Amino acid sequence: QVQLVQSGAEVKKPGSSVKVSCKASGGTVNNYVFTWVRLAPGLGLEWMGKITPTLGETHYAQKFQGRLTISADRATSTAYMELRNLRSEDTAVYYCAGAGMDVWGEGTTVTVSS
Amino acid sequence: DIQMTQSPSAMSASVGDRVTITCRASQGISNYLAWFQQKPGKVPKRLIYAASSLQSGVPSRFSGSGSGTEFTLTISSLQPEDFATYFCLQYYTYPYTFGQGTKLDIK
């Protein structure tokens, strides 16, 4: 069974960037596909994007185009989510998940505050 | 983008009640729909995929139906642990999109 382990909580200033990692382990992770979802306070789940490392293919929600980069290191089965030009509205818990979203990381809290 | 509209946005029910939540897609998505349960401070949990397939380990009181643009999640007999927020997700085309959620609380 694949497990996803995310990096720790972050506190950032408006206008800065954050990079969250998600490492897959256990099971078959060589061809793992990663999805990123966030949950902001008082709001619902928001699909951010997805990466298929074996194809070098990424897809993003239009809302984040230009600010979001999802990348992956196949050698370590780790995915990264980098969000730039942070705003207070980006304060949320950021989750990585597998392709089918049946496996989830524990979430990373990102707080954007001056 | 495909818009997913859930109804109701919130509801109250009692233990033992039968509950139905609806999700409507702005265009046809075949059966590329999943349902998730989210509890405060917890990781989202997939309940249903492919509109009607029950995730392994999920109680059989949960069921999903629908195809095209109309989908439902039914809980046949509410249990205390089912009070949570439920989301649908279309994965027919990119970008994937969630419904806005249905908060289910105790009457």
Give tens-digit pLDDT for B36-75.
Answer: 999 999 999 999 999 999 999 999 999 999 999 999 999 9
- B96, B102, B103, B104: best to mutate for the A interface, most A CBs within 10 A: B96
Give, for B90, the enclosing helix (H) or strand (E).
Answer: strand B85-90
Tokens of B89: 């997700």
Distance CA A83, CA A66 (A): 9
- Name the strands in the sheet holding A92-98, side by side, starting at the edge strand that comes first in the sequence: A10-12, A108-112, A92-98, A34-39, A45-52, A57-60
The answer to whether the Cβ–Cβ distance between A45 and B96 falls below 8 Å is no
Q: Which of B43, B85, B100 sits opposite A107 (nearest CB)?
A: B43
| B100-105 mean pLDDT | 96
Query: Would you give the distance in Å from CA B87 to the centre of its chain?
Result: 5
Q: Which residues of A touch B (CB under 8 A)?
A: 35, 37, 39, 44-47, 49-50, 59-62, 95, 97, 100-102, 104-107
Tokens of A97: 């998940």
Distance CA A94, CA A96 (A): 7
Q: Report how far apart, in Å, the C-alpha atoms of A52 and of each of A58, A70, B83 are.
A: 6, 10, 34
- A64, A102, A109: best to mutate for the B interface, most B CBs within 10 A: A102
- B2, B36, B90: best to mutate for the A interface, most A CBs within 10 A: B36
Q: What percent of chain B has pLDDT over 90?
A: 98
| B70-96 mean pLDDT | 97
The answer to whether the Cβ–Cβ distance between A101 and B95 falls below 8 Å is no
Q: Is B30 left (phi over 0), alpha (psi -120 to 50) or beta?
A: left
Closest Cα to residue A82, out of A5, A22, A13, A30?
A22
Per-residue model confidence as pLDDT tens for chain A (114 residues)? 899 999 999 999 999 999 999 999 987 777 889 999 999 988 999 999 999 998 989 999 999 989 999 999 988 999 999 999 999 999 999 999 998 899 999 999 999 999
Q: Which of B49, B87, B94 sits opposite A45 (nearest CB)?
A: B87
Q: Which of B38, B49, B95 sits opposite A47 (nearest CB)?
A: B95
Contacts 24+ apart (CB under 8 A), A74-77: A74/A30, A76/A23, A77/A23, A77/A24, A77/A25, A77/A29, A77/A30, A77/A32
Res. B92 pLDDT band, cuts 50 70 90: very high
Amino acid at B80: P
